[in-house]
Structure 1
Amino acid sequence: MAGLITLADGRQVHLAVDPSDEIDEVWDSLLQLLVLCALALLLSLLVIRWAVSQGLQVLDELLHGLQQVSQGQLDTRLASHCLPEARQLAGHFNAMATTLQQVQADNAELTQALLALQERERARLGQTLHDDLGQYLSGIRAQACLLQAIAEQPQQVRRTAHSLEEFSRRLQEGFRALIRDLYPVVLERLTLDDALRQLRDDWQSSHSIRCRLLISEHLPDLALPSKAHLYRVVQEALTNIARHADASEVRIRLQHQGQRLRLLIRDNGRGAHLPQRPGIGLRSIEERARSLGAVLRIHSRPNAGWALCLTLTIKENES
């Protein structure tokens, strides 16, 4: 392509354009752009590969850690990484492993405490049978032998019969107390409110601590396991109060509202700072609340006593 241009002074300029030069220039620019794009793509792929490898490394470490935890190695911990997400994931895993390790230690401690409690209960049961009940049985046997020897002495026979009656009464009371400690038989023939009133009376007379009991009218007809759990919660709470609270008064309130049954036990003892590691008594209460599917809350302050609140949602077949 060519052209002729006349200037102002009369001179003429001849212009000619070579298309091949323009094509070569455009092609060079396109090649440079393609090279830059290829370099950018390669760099992006390298960065993506590095990021994916880092992520896969974190996942491999997490999988390995989970395998170790599943095998019982609860002291496994993940190392911290530079990536924020990896650090967060490692933090959550380490917190989970620490919690599992603490739960395992608590379970081991609870097992030891339960075994020790079982041995104490067996020793107490054996001592009760040997010292109290065995003594009364020996006395009854001795009095029976005496009756055979004094059969011709009416006055002596009457005194011996009176002693036999007294020994039998004490033996019966001892058996009743022992059976009541082993299993609340009263729940099979009494309603929950009557059983709690009897428990309150026995405990109050045994420990000389005032116990006020308030129960709503028309309690729901609970199944025997639920009644037993509630009864044991009150019994265990009273036992803890007698042993540790140094209280002079206890208030127990059992309220039925709609589909909920609410148990509140409060004393005026010395209390304590919370949280603290629960003993065997509180753990037993917590397990019974879990078995009931109830919500348990425990509050305490120094010199303000303890308060235990258990809320149970009543099932339709129990209302």
Structure 2
Amino acid sequence: MSARPVPLASGPDDVRSQAAPAAVPRRAVPSAPPWKRWSTRARLVAVVLAIDVLAALISCGVIVLNARTAVTVETRASLATVEALVADTIRLLEAAPSERLLQTLDLRFQVLRHVRIAVRDAAGAPVGGGLGRPRREKLAPAWFADLILPGIEQHELPIVTAGRVIGSARITTQPMDEIDEIWGYARALALATLCINAAMLAALYLALGRVLAPLGRLADGLTQLERHDYTVRLETPSTREFTVIAARFNQVAEALAAVRAANGRLNRHLLTAQDDERRRTALELHDEFGPCLFALEASAASIGRIAAGPAEPDRDRLAARASEIAAIVAQVQGRNRDLLNRLRPHALGQVPLSECLALLLRDFSRRHPGTTFTGRFDGLARGYGDLADLTVFRCIQESTTNAVRHGRAVQVAAEVREEAGALHVSVADDGVGFGPDHGTGLGLSGMRERVGALDGTFVLDKRSPGAVVRISIPVDPQRGEDANPARSA
């Protein structure tokens, strides 16, 4: 009887696996070849080893070809020599009895190299011990003999005395003697070459480890830079190429450290900038708006007392108080306008850029009557974008403020022109300038950062007398043309 297969009990997991659709096989990600995960030293050693193996194969081929030719030439030469010796022996012993002649030939040519001689009588029976083979200490392996072994040759020489054939001498080539010698030479050469190559590879491995050690230090240094440790420096290696790499690495680390320090200073300035602005605004509100509000309150109280008196109100006094209130309101409006312009120029974006800059210089002339402010803003578009316009406005505002406040300048000249796809801004003054130990304040840092954010350049030069600020900001000429339809026409 044939056994029927018993069905296995299926559990819930089996039911789920049967009900679930077949999973779509994910595409296998091709793995990288193993040699790509090797180190540089291992790859170089592998290349040298491959060259050695290739050289060994070529050398083996040359040895086999030369050995095959040499064995063929040697066996043929031995064959010709033995044939001549057999003929000479027969001629010398021609007078001897036939049996003695055959035995002499058998004994004389029993241990020859490269050939074997079998002496037979007239009936074909071997004389003496027959073909003898001397014992050899070294034998070449069969695969090596098959590569070199030429064809076996046999020559049959009749032994004739007194015109009668008394036997024969069969000469057979034996190339194994020569092959054994070649094998011994090749084995010794291979062993010596193997030892030399092993020593060379070991020395190369150690030398590469020493030569490539700077790469490991470079990798460690890059890891430290990645972890924001910019104090790392590489020692100067002895190799010229690695010396250049180490020098460049140290320069990059120093540059990153300088940038980090500059960013730290800027961050500290930025952290205090808002508080400084709030402090300035609070002081201005307290010093300017506080007295004005107090004066308004006092005038309003005076008007109230005049109106509440039993007698007829003095119209002249009321008019004087009203005039005072109007003057105070005008002063408050002016201070409020100045404060708003400092926080955000309200006209920027509403009127052309050149008019905003002209209004800025007129405001400086009003607030500093002892200084002459001149501006040249001809040929500008209506605007170049909010960010570019605000950057130009703030830079001129800050430069002019520095010239008046710190340089004590008498004349300040500002110029903005568009040329070669860029806005060129210059603010020159005839003040005291700045000394060699002049530091970078918040205003200069702010201007430099604003200009740098727009991929521009900021230069502060000293001249006699005074100083000049030069700024260049790249702009889109097409945007400027679109912003100024009259200029496009």
Q: Is the 8 A contact 2:306 2:314 kept in 1?
A: yes
Tell me the alpha carbon deviations over residues 192-229 of structure 1, each in whole angstroms, 9 at most, x when there is no partner: 10111111122234343333211222525322222111
TM-score by length of 1: 0.81
Q: Is the 8 A contact 2:454 2:473 kept in 1?
A: no
Tell me the alpha carbon deviations over residues 113-144 of structure 1, each in whole angstroms, 9 at most, x when there is no partner: 33344333322211211121021112112211
Structure 1: where are the runs of 5+ without partners?
Answer: 5-16
Q: Is the 8 A contact 1:267 1:307 kept in 2?
A: no
Q: Is the 8 A contact 2:221 2:234 kept in 1?
A: yes
Relative to structure 1, the CA distance from residue 48 to residue 242 in structure 2 (aligned partners, 3 Å threshold; closer, same or farther) is farther
Tell me the alpha carbon deviations over residues 19-64 of structure 1, each in whole angstroms, 9 at most, x when there is no partner: 7898787667656654564355334423442344346543333333
Tell me the alpha carbon deviations over residues 147-201 of structure 1, each in whole angstroms, 9 at most, x when there is no partner: 1221222111111111111111111111111111111112143211011111112
Match of 2:109 in 1: none
Tell me the alpha carbon deviations over residues 86-139 of structure 1, each in whole angstroms, 9 at most, x when there is no partner: 333332222222222222222222222333443333222112111210211121
Match of 2:448 in 1: 286
Q: Is the 8 A contact 1:143 1:160 kept in 2?
A: yes
Deviates more, 1:252-261 or 1:167-176: 252-261
Tell me the alpha carbon deviations over residues 227-253 of structure 1, each in whole angstroms, 9 at most, x when there is no partner: 111101111121222244454333222
Instruction: Specify the SS of the correspondent of 1:160.
Output: helix
Note if 1:145 corresponds to 2:301.
Answer: yes
Relative to structure 1, the CA distance from residue 259 to residue 96 in structure 2 (aligned partners, 3 Å threshold; closer, same or farther) is closer
Instruction: Specify the SS of the correspondent of 1:69.
Output: helix
Note if 1:202 corresponds to 2:358.
Answer: no
Mapping 1:19-98, distance limit 5 Å: 34=190, 37-54=193-210, 57-98=213-254
Q: Is the 8 A contact 1:271 1:303 kept in 2?
A: yes
TM-score by length of 2: 0.55
The separation in 2 between residues aligned to 1:189 and 1:303, in whole angstroms, is 37
User: What percent identity do the matched residue pairs reach?
Assistant: 24
Q: 2:270 aligns with which of 95, 102, 114?
A: 114
Paired residue type of 2:450: R
The separation in 1 between residues aligned to 2:351 and 2:443, in whole angstroms, is 25
Paired residue type of 1:204: S
Paired residue type of 2:346: V
Q: Which runs of 4+ in 1 moved over 6 A?
A: 17-29, 273-276
Note if 1:179 corresponds to 2:329.
Answer: no
Structure 2: where are the runs of 5+ without partners?
Answer: 1-77, 85-111, 115-174, 308-312, 482-489
Match of 2:352 in 1: 191
Relative to structure 1, the CA distance from residue 130 to residue 245 in structure 2 (aligned partners, 3 Å threshold; closer, same or farther) is closer
Q: Is the 8 A contact 1:259 1:314 kept in 2?
A: yes
Match of 1:266 in 2: 428
Instruction: Specify the SS of the correspondent of 1:77.
Output: coil
Q: Comparing both structures, which one devotes a greater share of its residues to helix?
A: 1
Shift of 1:69: 2.6
Q: RMSD in angstroms over aligned alpha carbons?
A: 3.2
Deviates more, 1:77-86 or 1:280-289: 77-86
Greater C-alpha radius of gyration? 2
The separation in 2 between residues aligned to 1:304 and 1:46, in whole angstroms, is 71
Deviates more, 1:218-227 or 1:285-294: 218-227
Instruction: Specify the SS of the correspondent of 1:219.
Output: coil
Deviates more, 1:105-114 or 1:42-51: 42-51
The separation in 2 between residues aligned to 1:166 and 1:255, in whole angstroms, is 40
